[in-house]
Amino acid sequence: MIAGVRPLLAAFLKFSRAIDALNERVGRAVAWLVLAAVLVSSGNAVSRYAFSLSSNAWLEIQWYLFSAIFLLAAGYTLRHGAHVRIDIVYGRYSPRARAWLDILGAVFFLMPMALLILYLSWSMFMQSYVGHEISADAGGLVRWPVKLLMPAGFFLLVLQGLSEILKRVAFLRGAAPFEETAKPPDVT
């Protein structure tokens, strides 16, 4: 960070780093759910075809795990720049223009969409929780845990969107380098 940065901007950058760290931890933890999904799917297939035993609960667990992977890793994905973007056009601009595009895209598209879905999904979760909603399928599972994933995932996405905005503003103010995306960790 550049010396003489205003205390408020320094506090915003510290907050941004905390959000980044949170989504990094969540993303790494969620990666283990891929293994869990593979094991559940494999176990279900083996029990169904080898022993003629199966349950809708096992299928629903697979769906729940996929939902958790997709929703809870959204903030992590944004942090690592892996969301859909028109990179051919974006890459031709200067870092300053890219920072402005990131800010405008986040403020006018990402944040309104994510906040709206967060708001709407919370009431859907609460109805499911209060009503003790259970899957209509025989042997199905309780539904509120999977419905909680939506507001939780979009909350993490909103936080990461805010973090990205703060980093771009800090860059434009000369208080931080242009941090286009964090490199995903090497898992090999």
Residue spans per domain, the chain: 7-172
pLDDT digits 0-9 by tens, 1-42: 455 568 888 899 999 999 999 999 999 999 999 999 999 999
Structure tokens, 126: 């609460």
Chain-wide mean pLDDT for the chain? 89
Query: Taking the CA of residue 135 as centre, how many other CA atoms within 13 Å lie in the half-sphere pointing to its CB?
Result: 19
Residue type, 11: A
134, β-bridge pairs: 142
pTM given for the model? 0.86
- Contact, 23 vs 167, CB < 8 A? no
Look at residue 7 and give its three-state secondary structure: helix
Return the pLDDT at 181.
61
Residue that has been written with the tokens 């506090």 in this structure: 11
118-172 pLDDT, tens digit each: 999 999 999 999 999 988 888 778 899 999 999 999 999 999 999 999 999 999 9
What's the confidence (pLDDT) of residue 4?
A: 54
